Each structure stands twice: as C-alpha cells, then as structure tokens.
Amino acid sequence: MSFEIQELPDVIRVIVLLNLSKGVKIKKSTLKNRVDCICVSYACVEMSELDRALKEMSTEGLIVEKADMVQLTPQGQKLGKNGKVCS
C-alpha cells in the first residue's frame, strides 16, 4: 500500500505515520502540535482537518482511535516503517 502526497491531508497522514511508527499511543492534541510545528511556515492546519485525516486513516485500517488517543494498527505500522509513501 502506498499513496502520493498531493494535498494537506496527505501531509497530515505522513506526519501521523511517522510520529506513530514505533507503536506508541499519542493524544490528538499532541499530534496536532506536532503537525503545527512541521507546517508552521507552509499552512495553517485546523483541528477539523486533522480529525478528517484521522477518520480516513481509521476507515482504511491504518489507525485506531480510542477516546482522545491514536495508535497505528499493524498495517499502519508496516506502512510507517517501510516508508511506502510516493512523492
């Protein structure tokens, strides 16, 4: 599985994959802060955009959301570690 980076939601997906690739759980707010740090000079990322990207990733079986925590599934970990992201 791979995808091509074309728009902001794709950038968010890559940031999520890289930040969670070691199997850690992270709060959405912490993840939002990390996205903001990376995108600070390029784009303003709203929480709704992060939520939308996370929902898509959840639908695709890449992450699991429980309450305010996000964690990669085994499929998401594989994608994050293998770096199968096309630019």
Domains along the sequence of the chain with CATH: 3-78 (1.10.10.10)
**What amino acid is encoded at 9 in this protein?**
P
- pLDDT tens digits along 26-76: 999 999 999 999 888 777 889 999 999 999 999 999 999 998 999 999 998
CA distance linking residue 1 with residue 66, whole number of Å:
24
Residue 24's pLDDT band (cuts 50, 70, 90): confident
User: Which residues, listed in sequence order, are joined to residue 70 by a DSSP beta bridge?
Assistant: 26, 65
19: tokens are 């930040």
In the DSSP assignment, the letter for residue 40 is T
pTM of the entire predicted model? 0.81
User: Tell me, what amino acid is at 24?
Assistant: V
pLDDT (tens digit, 9 = 90+) per residue, 42-52?
778 899 999 99
Contact 43, 2 (CB under 8 A): no
